Amino acid sequence: MENEDYPELTPQRFSELDRLRAAMDAMRNLPPERAISAMPVIVPYMAIVGRVEHYKRGEEHCFRITRTVAGHEPDEIWEEKPLNAHAVRDEFLNVKDWSGAYDFLTTTGIFSPLDDTITWSEFQRWQRFTRLVLEHEPLASAMQRGDTSGEHWEVLKALTGDYASSFFDVNREPVSSKEAEWMEREKLRHPEIVPMILEGQQHQEKERRKLWTWFQGPPGKFCSIEWIPKRKEDADAVLPLLRKGGAMIEFLLPRKSLRPAFVIHPWTTLHAIAAAIYADYSNGVEYRTCQFCNRLFPVGRQKSKKFCNQRQCKNAAHSRKSRRNERERKMKAKAEEKLREVPTDKAKQR
């Protein structure tokens, strides 16, 4: 691979390719006794739920997530609530309006590590991003074709974490002319703040890219392979010992009572949504958009499935097609009848 053919690839990217090649070579020579048995992918999401303040900025609905108690600023209050990451993802995708977003945010905890405020437009953009990542087939097609236009390519750029992506720039609120003029005056009056502003912008962009890559796969430091008791009775028995600290579960229970699990530890709602996507992908679950209701559905074994529900959506789509064909048949019959009623030239001469 020549660098001139891929000018945007960084040295870090080349090292990732080298690591992948080395891992593939090692896998070919892997002794059978060194393999780990199939592991479930577990996403234990402990949501940090605080208060959500709703306000409007012009025509835009805004939500601020805070742990500060109104009237008691030094004090904070929040609830740590265990949630099912897959259920959180599905509920997130089903939000239809700003009031639904408010209800969602009040129960699912801190939404993003980037900011404590999220607008309805940004919320919708994250919904769109999640849908595009879930539906693997169009992204794979865009990657294989090398199609560099459209939102699928911008999503692919975001997933790598190496390239700037304009996907989230669409709904970013523009800076007003007054704010821009004020900022330019401040830069002239205090030139020492310019490096600080640039450093802040670079840090924000770096954090954005880190969050994007979660949707391709969680970073290694947030993942671990852990021993999980097979039976609930065993888990209840060892929990008091584990709480004391220093105890290791693999020495508290026999190996036959444990199984390895790949555990992902998200700490915000977007992390949990991304982890749920990765868990499905690692288990071979693919999603597709229903051709009738436009909802995402798991494909399963029937790879040619086009509708999320065979009884409802498939039958409704068939009925709609039949009605359309019937309308077209009637319109064609009427047009032919009118043509027959038009007198020909010979009839006019007679």
pLDDT tens digits for range 63-116: 998 876 555 555 666 788 899 999 999 999 999 999 999 999 999 989 999 888
- Interval 240-248 mean pLDDT: 80
Poorest-pLDDT segment among 266-275, 297-306, 312-321: 312-321
Summarize the confidence of residues 327-343 as an average pLDDT: 71
**Across all residues in the chain, what is the average pLDDT?**
79
Average pLDDT value for residue range 181-200: 69
Helix (H, G, I), strand (E, B) or coil at 257: helix
Q: Are 296 and 131 in contact (CB under 8 A)?
A: yes
Domain ranges of the chain: 41-214, 228-261, 310-349
So what's the pLDDT on residue 21? 76
* Residues, the chain: 350
Mean pLDDT confidence for 162-169: 85
Closest CA to 307 of 321, 291, 287: 291
**Is 25 buried (19+), middle (13-18) or exposed (0-12) by CB count in 10 A?**
exposed
Per-residue pLDDT, 73: 56
Residue 343 confidence (pLDDT): 64
Tell how strand 68-69 and strand 41-42 pair up.
unpaired
Please work out, in degrees rounded to the nearest 5, the angle formed at the alpha carbon of residue 34 by the alpha carbons of 252 and 246.
25
Cα distance between residue 269 and residue 48, in whole Å = 9
Taking the complete model, does pTM exceed 0.85, yes or no?
A: no
pLDDT at site 12: 52
pLDDT above 70 for 342: no
Higher per-residue pLDDT: 50 or 309: 50
Cα separation, 230 vs 233, in Å, equals 9
pLDDT digits (tens, 9 = 90+) for 314-329: 666 566 666 666 676 6
Task: Pick 134 or 171 by higher pLDDT.
Answer: 134
Position 3 confidence tier, pLDDT thresholds 50, 70, 90: very low
Please give the average per-residue pLDDT across 221-246, as a whole number: 86
